[in-house]
Structures are given as C-alpha cells and as structure tokens.
Homo-oligomer: A and B are copies of this chain.
C-alpha cells in the first residue's frame, strides 16, 4: 500500500517551520504514516507539534542550511532515508530586491544539503522541490506546460531554481544519487503567510467586510497574470508519493492544470465573503519582468503515481477564508 512505504524510516524535512511542512505533517498524521521526522529550519515552527505526538516522532533542529559544517554533522548523525527539501526563499518579488540572498538561500543551501547527503547517506532519496517559475517565458501555444518544455527563467529566483534542478541532475548522473525533482506551481491553502498574493487579497477583503462595508477598493499588481493554483493539501500528497515512488532523476509538475487570472480570483473571494470589490493597479507592485501565463499539466504525476487533486479551487478559497476569518476574530 502506497502509504506505508516510509513507515519506520527517517525523514529530514528542511524548511520545517513553513506552511507546506505543517500540511505535510498533517498528511502523515492523518494517514497513520509512522516515520521519524527530523525537522530543520532557521526559525521555530509556529504550529503546534504536540498534536502529532500520538503518532509521529519529531525531532527539531534550529539551523541555517548555509552552515555547511553543522549540516554535514547533523546529516551524518541522522543518516536519513528520505529528505523532503522544502527550504527556500520562494518569493519572486524578494529576488528582484535581493537577488544575492535569493540565490544563496535557494541554490547554495541545496548544494550544501546534497553534498552532506552524498557524504553520509548516499542511498537517501531526496525530493528537490522546484518551481513553475523555472519555465519562465512560455508561449501561449505551449500551454499547458509539460515537463519537457525548455526552461527560460526570467527572474533571479527562477534562475536559482533552475540551478537547483540542474545540480540535481548532475548529482544523479555523476554520483548515482537518488534525487527526484518537482516544478511546483503556486500553492495555496489555509495557514499560508499573508505576504503571498491570495492570502493578502483575502485579508484585505475580509478587513473591508469587518469594517461593515458592502464594498471597497484594493490596490493590486498586474491582475491579468494567469497562474495555476494548487491546494497545498494536494501538494503534500504529491510530495509523499514522489518521495515514495517518484523516478530518480525525473522532474514532475505539481499543479492543478487550471489557469486563473488574479482578477477572477479576487472576484471569487469577494463573492464568497459577500462584498463588492473593485481594484486599482499600484505600479509599485508591478515586477520588472513577469510571465503572463503559467499553467501546467499534471498528466505525468497523475499517470505515473496515481496522484489526483482532491480540492477544487473554490473549496480551497472557502477554507482559506474560513481560516483567515478565524485568525482575524481571535
């Protein structure tokens, strides 16, 4: 059975304090997967680890993956069977402002990780989480994007992610390492940080509602941008399957297959919340060089690994609104 393959194994999760990690823990917990978790992140998790205690053994290490020496020692002491590499500086906007930091905290941390694993746990399976941003400049006729699409990254963040993927291939081919790669499209869901685009829309629309208004205006960036949003709970199901069964050296889209313009999403949120929203473009939010449309096809992961998304877009939005409403009222 697919769910038990990680039982009794040792799994390192980098980026442990993050949004995706918390959903991955939920997933393991709900599916009774008894894996020992070694969480690494720079900041302590803000979610409660106690709720997993009945089923999951969790060890936490506060560490910067840039600290190569510490990381090597830790991996040596754990000798993991699996690594789920979630750690990233995943904001494109940030990478335009701080390209060096973005690069270092995406590409260089990954290199430190794979070298540490190569040294002391060479058989370990690593899921290298990448980004749909790697595709970059894609022509409309190439949509939805398949994995064999040529990569034309258009931001410093995207270049760093392409490097991460290319390094993965080099380490698979040259050293026989067991690395599986993703190009993960925009994920959304409850508990996502409000700096990300959809939670930030929800927050501002809920604020308008909570002020007792029936309508309001929000400032936005370019709303004609079309992206493929996938529920984080579907994403973690994909990651589990890829860790367990993904083909080494292969890259998989993790996406919904549906494209939505940001303008449409704002109206979906407004409708759910029950207010009228109009928008105003703020040029400060416009990025130097953005891809208009990024929509993938999940065909490969569906056919190879039996993955299928469970949450519709509207369900996800409703759950996010419910979560953020609760946060606002606490």
Contacts and interface: CB of A to CB of B under 8 A. Distances in A.
Contact of A159 (B104, B150, B163, B288): B163
A155 interface: yes
7 contacts: A68-B100, A104-B108, A155-B174, A162-B162, A162-B163, A173-B289, A174-B289
Nearest to A288: B174
A170 B289 contact: yes
A99 B177 CA distance: 15
A154 B249 CA distance: 13
Which interface class (under 10, 10 to 19, 20 to 34, 35 or more) fits A?
20 to 34
Interface string A284-300: 00001100000000000
Contact of A163 (B68, B163, B173, B175): B163
Contact of A154 (B100, B162, B173): B173
A289 B170 CA distance: 8
A96 B175 CA distance: 10
Q: How many copies does the complex hold?
A: 2
A19 interface: no
A122 to B, nearest CB: 13
A200 interface: no
Interface in A225-256: none
A220 interface: no
Interface in A16-72: 68
A104 B174 CA distance: 20
Contact of A112 (B100, B111, B173, B289): B100
